[in-house]
């Protein structure tokens, strides 16, 4: 059986962290359309230049761009099980996704919904620090680095995402409520809800138990 696990939740709800933990524990690959977009922007590709104004303003990148990138990833990797981090995030994307993943490629889809409040999200995002060298992610509030501004793993200087600002957080959260929440209703019986107010380890235990992975 081919399984597609769709991680949905507001920015900062822990989707990316849990996808990485599942990759390390079970070898399940994940694709984040946000990471794909940021990679294109960093490399200054034509697609990246097209996406940048949307990312820096907190608005959603157009569906046509997201769908094209996602389809290319799935076809290139051709895996039996995968995690999609944050896609689809609109009803329009969900309809295209259903045809591509369920009908054309034969995956059984399960939605994993990370439920968390705005107050917690702001602390997670504003405190997030990312190591550009080893990929380690720490948080100034929840697991601060031993040396301020420096990665605990490789001692490289941390970076922050260009879209990690309070104004953009609010804009993205509003977009999430308007565009993503209806998807939960769209899939209904295929949804598993995770209490994402918990710590990362507790969330991870809940996911593995409910997905049996």
The catalytically annotated residue of 15, 38, 124, 129 is 15
The catalytically annotated residue of 38, 52, 124, 128 is 128
The model's pTM is 0.77
Query: 65-79, 155-169, 174-188 — which one is most confidently predicted on average?
Result: 155-169
With CA atoms as reference, report the closest residue to 16 among 4, 25, 7: 7
Mean pLDDT, the chain, rounded, equals 89
196/174 Cα distance (integer angstroms): 18
172 among known catalytic residues: yes
Give the start-to-end residue ranges of the domains of the chain.
Answer: 2-116+168-211, 128-163
With CA atoms as reference, report the closest residue to 21 among 144, 203, 209, 154: 203
The catalytically annotated residue of 20, 21, 115, 161 is 161
The catalytically annotated residue of 38, 89, 95, 124 is 89
Q: Which residues pair with 192 in a beta bridge?
A: 112
129 among known catalytic residues: no
Residue that wins the pLDDT comparison between 176 and 154: 154
Residue that wins the pLDDT comparison between 113 and 75: 113
91/78 Cα distance (integer angstroms): 25
89 among known catalytic residues: yes
- What is the model's pLDDT at position 34? 81
Phi, psi (rounded to 5 degrees) for 125: -75, -45
161 among known catalytic residues: yes
- Confidence class of residue 70 from pLDDT cuts 50, 70 and 90? confident
43 among known catalytic residues: no
Domain 2-116+168-211 - what CATH class? alpha beta
């Amino acid at each position: 059986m081919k399984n597609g696990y769709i991680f949905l939740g507001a920015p900062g709800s822990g989707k990316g962290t849990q996808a990485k933990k599942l990759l390390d524990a079970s070898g399940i690959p994940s694709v984040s359309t946000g990471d794909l977009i940021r990679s294109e922007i960093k490399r200054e590709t034509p697609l990246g230049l097209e996406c940048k104004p949307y990312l820096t303003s907190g608005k959603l990148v157009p569906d046509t761009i997201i769908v094209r990138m996602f389809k290319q990833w799935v076809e290139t990797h051709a895996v039996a099980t995968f995690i999609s981090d944050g896609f689809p995030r609109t009803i329009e994307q969900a309809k295209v996704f259903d045809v591509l993943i369920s009908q054309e490629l034969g995956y059984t889809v399960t939605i994993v919904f990370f439920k968390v409040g705005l107050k917690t999200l702001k602390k997670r995002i504003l405190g997030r620090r990312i190591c550009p060298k080893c990929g380690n992610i720490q948080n100034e509030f929840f697991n601060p680095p031993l040396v301020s501004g420096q990665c605990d793993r490789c001692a490289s200087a941390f970076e922050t995402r260009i879209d990690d600002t309070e104004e953009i957080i609010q804009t993205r959260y509003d977009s999430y409520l308007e565009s993503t929440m209806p998807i939960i209703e769209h899939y209904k019986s295929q949804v598993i809800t995770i209490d994402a107010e918990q710590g990362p380890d507790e969330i991870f235990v809940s996911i593995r138990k409910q997905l049996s992975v």
